[in-house]
Amino acid sequence: MIAPLLVAPLVPLLVPFAVPPLARRAVARLTPAAALWCLTATTVVLAVCSLAALGTLTLYGLLALPPFASFGELIHPLGAAPGLFPLAAAATGALAVCAWALPRSALRQLGEYHEAKETADAQPTAGDLCVIDSPDPDAYALPGTPGRIVVTTSMLRSLSPAEREALFAHERAHLSARHHYHLAAVGLAAHCHPGLRPAGAAVRLAAERAADEAAAAAIGDRQLTARAIGRAALATRAARADRRRPTVAPAATSGPVPQRVAALLRPPLPGVRGRGYPAAVAAGVLLALSACLSLAGAGAGALTLHQNVEIAQGERPGG
């Protein structure tokens, strides 16, 4: 049996498991740009709240032990509630894993980015276009100052001139909207809780769909954009090359391409009005509620811990 005072910190650890179906619903119902922002914000909030909950449970367990209680200047240790020590031990282990995985992932992403940037810097550029002589078809948006579209000669040969312009418009949309920040944030958040890992795929899909729609609007031809993305993806997959594309670099050939092509061959999703508006609002509200519930649980857990520490220090709340 778990003590009532430990229930609140458990809420932020359970809520992220509801993210996968909510993320799929958001991508399907919301406009791509709205889904991208909504999913990124929700995922980051849930990740921070889960870390806060793990920290709260760890402190509960440590301050219930006499050596740590005296170190924290407590007159007496916190009461060892039923189920406290197993939960605290599990939380401590999870925090240790996060402390190891988060910086490791950040360093890996930075390493991949700098390697790709050095490769691009060594190539001649034409405006924002960097062409790499390679037999492997590939293209992606490399963030930076300035951002560049990296494309291989093989990819250029795989597409017609009109399809190349659609592909470039797609990658430029990634750069102008700074989609790499979304991918990096969700990639790090996924290391904070296993329930948030599927959100990475949903955010990448939303980012690609947003760039798809921006490219279609810029080119003025949804079918041409769909054809360019489909042919680029087929060329990339047929090559089966070992590419060193940075994890945070968006690419038109990533994600579920058939689903994206099918979406481009349909009319764009309605904005603030339309038959899909109620379902879109419901998807956004559900994600917002999950974030609020997680915030409430993390805050209540931290507040309860603070009150118990004050009591253990010989002070009364409000006294």
CA dist., res. 289 & res. 278, Å (int): 16
pLDDT digits (tens, 9 = 90+) for 160-198: 999 999 999 999 999 999 999 999 999 999 999 999 988
Q: What confidence score (pLDDT) does residue 316 get?
A: 47
Query: 191: which strand partners?
Result: none
Tokens for 177?
Answer: 């909207």
Q: What confidence score (pLDDT) does residue 1 get?
A: 40
Which residue ranges of the chain lie beneath pLDDT 50?
A: 1, 241-242, 272-274, 316-319
Q: What Å distances lie between residue 249 and 113, 141, 171, CA to CA?
A: 8, 6, 10
pLDDT digits (tens, 9 = 90+) for 95-122: 999 999 999 999 998 998 888 888 888 8
Q: In which region does residue 149 sit, left (phi positive, over 0), alpha (psi from -120 to 50) or beta (all else)?
A: beta
Residue 260 near residue 213, CB atoms below 8 Å: no
Q: What confidence score (pLDDT) does residue 86 get?
A: 83
β-strands 148-152, 129-132: how paired? parallel
Q: What confidence score (pLDDT) does residue 146 get?
A: 82
